[in-house]
Amino acid sequence: MLTDNAEDQQTHDWFGDLQRLDDWMDQVIDTLQQGIAAGQSPFAAGIFHPDGRCVVTAHNTVRRRNQISRHGEVNALDEACRLTGRLDLSGLILVSTGEPCPMCAATAAMAKVDGIVYGASCSDILDAGYKMLELPCEEFFRHANRSPKIRGLVRRERCRELLMQNRKDAS
């Protein structure tokens, strides 16, 4: 039996807590900026508990490793699995500075995350010259046997600005 306090934490309405969503995105944006400083593409992601705690954040490392799959979301999901010793991340939330591509959405689905929060949209990412597979995250999940809660466009202006300042064709 959960205590009242534990129950509050379990059922915390993170989806409607816009301050919490902004706080999470700000943490992930910090990691994105570390990635830019390290010469990586302007994308990052994190895994969070609904009660606010951060499990991990990670930026994109495609350029550093010359590995096409090392998107920020995949790095964060992989690292969260390693840190928790679990392949099932149900109960946790994926927060990404950009709308997850189909590869990242599929990885999030495999990990069974409860929610996905993103900043810049698929069209913002394309505007900055990054060629992604054009399947919106919500559309992907309409065809998947998982239905995480999805909240887009959190801190969108800041995430879009960082993309445009670090355009693909500028590097």
DSSP secondary structure letter of residue 100: P
Q: Which is nearer to Zn ion, 11 or 69 (CB)?
A: 69
CA distances from 36 to 5, 28, 33, 148, 157 (A): 40, 13, 5, 29, 18
**Nearest approach, Cβ of 60 to Zn ion (angstroms)?**
8
Greatest Cα pair distance, the chain, in angstroms, is 56
DSSP secondary structure letter of residue 93: E
**Nearest approach, Cβ of 19 to Zn ion (angstroms)?**
27
CB–CB of 166/125 below 8 Å? no
Q: Which is nearer to Zn ion, 103 or 110 (CB)?
A: 103
Residues that bind Zn ion (CB under 5 A): 71, 101, 103-104
**Nearest approach, Cβ of 68 to Zn ion (angstroms)?**
10
Q: Which is nearer to Zn ion, 70 or 155 (CB)?
A: 70
